[in-house]
Amino acid sequence: MRAPFGARLTTAVSMRGPLCVGIDPHPSLLADWGLPMSAAGLERFAMTCVEALAGEIAVLKPQSAFFETYGSAGIAVLERLLVASRQAGALTLLDVKRGDIGSTMDAYAAAYLAEGAPLAADAVTLSPYLGFGSLDPALELASRTGRGAFVLALTSNKEGASIQRATGGGGASVAQEIADEAAARNAGASPLGPVGLVIGATVGRLELDLSRLNGPILAPGFGAQGATVADLRTVFGESLRHVLPSSSREILRHGPDPAALRDAALRVRDSLGVTHPL
């Protein structure tokens, strides 16, 4: 049995620093790296990222959509990336943003969180907008297998505000209701529960009470999307100690040389300064 995800993430961050690097093989990046828009180019991109980053960075976050674009060959590359990253010591967070009901959610959970599944990751991203309870099959399986989930709460895209900042049935914002549901599932866990939140680093000063969350916060938008260390402090305040900033393009644009890619990631990590450990 592996240790619970919250404990493993806390250890990884204490040893490697609080940074998640997104592995996003966008077509423009493949072109910038001089790689073909093919499964072979995708694999070269992915394995270069593993070579450069998996031995140094706490969490790697492949974006599934960019691999799915290449069909079964792309999924095979994603499988190899997940295995190679874990072998090098990085935790893997598969960015799939799945959310469904009933047997379909059961199947998604089995695909990404079951023991021995080809696409099993240390954690996944989930969307709660069919009701937070619809995620229970994934959250329960993650807990049993020592894995985690990051649930979309307050994202940085402008389209999200109309739903996430709207008032829910209980009088709080939808984002606050999501945070409270996550907190309920993390209650009593130590050092952190397995249910994290996704909160954009560019959303401005938070109007969320995260004091009971007892879980990690993934903060995309650090770097190329404009968020700075100062923004992280402004957005998250006392919750900063639980924040895992995520950066993709700011680092990936330095490829394809593995040494340059690694140096860029370490510069971003070091720019976080003396951060609060998870």
Single-letter code of the amino acid located at 190 = S
Q: What are the Cα distances from residue 149, in Å, to 88, 100, 194?
A: 21, 15, 6
Phi, psi angle pair for 62, to nearest 5°: -70, 135
Count how many residues are written for the chain: 278
d(CA 222, CA 158): 17
Residue among 202, 247, 241 nearest 61 (CA): 247
d(CA 161, CA 49): 33
From the candidates 97, 165, 253, 276, which is the catalytic residue?
97
d(CA 160, CA 202): 13
Phi, psi angle pair for 118, to nearest 5°: -60, -30
Phi, psi angle pair for 119, to nearest 5°: -105, 15
CA diameter of the chain: 52
Q: How many CB atoms lie within 10 A of CB 243?
A: 26
Single-letter code of the amino acid located at 43 = E
**61 counts as catalytic:** no
Catalytically active residues, by annotation:
97
